[in-house]
Amino acid sequence: MKAVILAGGYGTRISEESNIIPKPLIEIGGKPILWHIMKIYSTYKIDDFIICLGYKGKKIKEYFEQFDSKLWNIQLIDTGLDTMTGGRLKRIQDKIDNTFCMTYGDGVSNINLNNLVTFHKEKKSLATLTAIHPPERFGVLNLSGDYVTEFHEKHTGESSWINGGFFVFEPEIFDYLQNDSTVLEKAPLETLAKEQKLSAFKHNGFWHPMDTLRDKKHLEDLWTSEKAPWKIW
């Protein structure tokens, strides 16, 4: 199974570092967060990666030119500087011929990917996202059973869920993606939700993005204290 990682955004909320290197290369414990994400997938024997490049993509290429891993198959694909999330995914359509995983290049979790994929297959959904309990700053999802019904603005509480990435898609997802300006989290997922083709795998464990320097420090502190929940390898 292939894993697609979106690694082309500008990372404006952590611009103190992303003006020098792309956000996926910002390090936690001496390794890029992109490496941490790939290690999570590799732990579950998902070793075939397609990394969608954009902003400072050359830096990511340079990193992997010196990267020594004979266990991973890595394709680095330029998907445009200003391409939106759905557009980046659309651009690698010709690389996909079966069920595949996708995530963002800036978030880590102790999610059980075997359980996620099994759940997706059992639901026979076209798409499955991982729903997690939000930090206060995120918009939330409404769920009916194991399906997404609506998207809402910020809200707090244990009953609230947000899209934490770590998707599983069928190739039919590309039918919902139009062009470079397509935002995956808008019309495509909203349409799938209305059609009851978008299921939600509820993850109550650890999940954390690296959007800001505060996020980076938190993840770094977890790593150096040897209490990093996402270190499942």
Phi and psi for 152 in degrees, rounded to 5? -135, 165
**CA torsion angle 178 184 187 192 (round to 10):** 100
Cβ contacts of 35 within 8 Å, gap of 6 or more = none
Give the CATH number for residue 12.
3.90.550.10
- Is position 62 within any domain? yes
Give Cα separations from 108 to 87, 189, 223 (angstroms).
23, 22, 12
The two three-digit tokens of residue 206, written as one number: 């650890």
Total number of domains in the chain:
1
Q: What is the largest distance, in Å, between two alpha-carbon atoms of the chain?
A: 47
- Is position 40 within any domain? yes
Query: Can you give the residue range of the structural domain that contains 46?
Result: 2-129+165-180
Please give the DSSP secondary-structure letter assigned to residue 206. -
Q: What CA–CA distance (Å, rounded) separates 164 from 39?
A: 18
- Is position 73 within any domain? yes
- Is position 16 within any domain? yes
**Cβ atoms of 86 and 177 closer than 8 Å:** yes
Phi and psi for 34 in degrees, rounded to 5? -60, -40
* DSSP SS3 for 219: helix
- Is position 95 within any domain? yes
- Is position 119 within any domain? yes
Q: What CA–CA distance (Å, rounded) separates 220 from 204?
A: 22
CA 180, 133, 142, 128 torsion-angle sign: positive
Q: What is the pLDDT along the chain (233 residues), one digit of tens a residue?
A: 999 999 999 877 777 676 789 999 999 999 999 999 999 999 999 999 999 999 999 999 999 998 877 889 999 999 999 999 999 999 999 999 999 999 999 999 999 999 999 999 999 999 999 999 876 556 677 888 899 888 766 555 566 789 999 999 999 999 999 999 999 999 999 999 999 999 999 999 999 999 888 899 999 999 999 889 999 98
- Is position 91 within any domain? yes
- Is position 212 within any domain? no
Q: What CA–CA distance (Å, rounded) separates 103 from 100?
A: 10
Give the H/E segment covering residue 75: strand 73-78
